[in-house]
Amino acid sequence: MRLDKFLVECGIGSRSEVKKLISSAEITIDGCICKDNNKNIDEKNTVVEYKGRRVIYKEFRYYKLYKIDGYITATEDKKEKTVMELLPEWVNKKDLFPVGRLDKDTEGLLFFTNDGKLAHELTSPKKHVDKIYRVSLRDDIGEGEIEKLEAGVDIGGYITQPAKAEIVNSKEILLNIKEGKFHQVKKMLKAVGNEVTYLKRETFGKLTLEDMVPCEVREIERDDVI
């Protein structure tokens, strides 16, 4: 692969930006400064460094984010702040997108990748990927409402699949669902006469928040996801 293309693919900058970096002697190849944009390298074995840090080429990239309130799940929007703005500079954002969605006021685990095939596997209705939410409620909830949630409720022309619900306290539950319908959790609780006051996703498939703090991002491997 040509050096400038390699650097662009790795998220170092645009084509014009990386050419400036190369011409200003900021890129080394196997320990030697390289000023040749067209230099061909072995993207898997050649040691390319920028600011003393090795630049690693990965065809597919995987990250998890602890999303906070106030950001919409989109790659771009003219009016709203998007979750892409929560990703730090060290994350290669080229072709990256969030998988699934969290509402603007929902917090918790959000997964990003540029692996379209994996994203389809995680979001396809046929795959039934578990998602666990911590749900705070306006009113106390009892076993009767829990049984309804677990059996499936009408959220407006759609009956939800059987779910799992666990009472944490009188106004908080853990809800495990396999779908991702628009505002699904909020609509499910409304269907049993209650209202969500706070919502946080804690797991998505194999992924968990672990000990992450709000706005934290971690790079992960494909095997961590599925």
What are the tens digits of pLDDT across the range 11-65? Answer: 788 889 999 999 999 999 999 999 998 999 998 899 999 988 999 888 899 999 9
What are the tens digits of pLDDT across the range 73-107? Answer: 999 999 999 999 999 988 888 889 999 999 999 99
What is the arithmetic mean of pLDDT over 111-135? Answer: 93
Q: Choose among 76, 115, 110: nearest CA to 207.
A: 110
The whole-angstrom separation of Cα 125 and Cα 7 is 37
Element (H, E) at 198: strand 196-204
What are the tens digits of pLDDT across the range 102-112? Answer: 999 999 999 99
Counts for the chain of helices (H) and strands (E), in that order: 5, 13
Q: Quick one: CA dihedral 205, 120, 117, 56, positive or negative?
A: negative
* Count of other CB atoms within 10 angstroms of residue 115: 20
Which of 103, 105, 115, 211 is flagged as catalytic?
Answer: 103
* Across 23-32, 123-132, 157-166, 201-210, least confident range: 123-132
pLDDT value of residue 126? 82
pLDDT value of residue 11? 79
Element (H, E) at 222: none
Domains along the chain with CATH numbers? 3-54 (3.10.290.10), 62-124+207-224 (3.30.70.580), 131-204 (3.30.70.1560)
**Which residues, at least 6 apart from 174, have a Cβ–Cβ distance to it below 8 Å?**
132, 133, 134, 135, 165, 166, 168, 202
Mean pLDDT, rounded, of the chain: 94
Residue 205 one-letter amino acid:
G
Q: Choose among 129, 134, 136: nearest CA to 161.
A: 129
Is there a catalytic annotation at residue 223? no
Element (H, E) at 170: none
Q: Which two tokens stand for residue 148?
A: 């309804």
Helix 184-191 with 143-151: angle, nearest 10 deg? 130
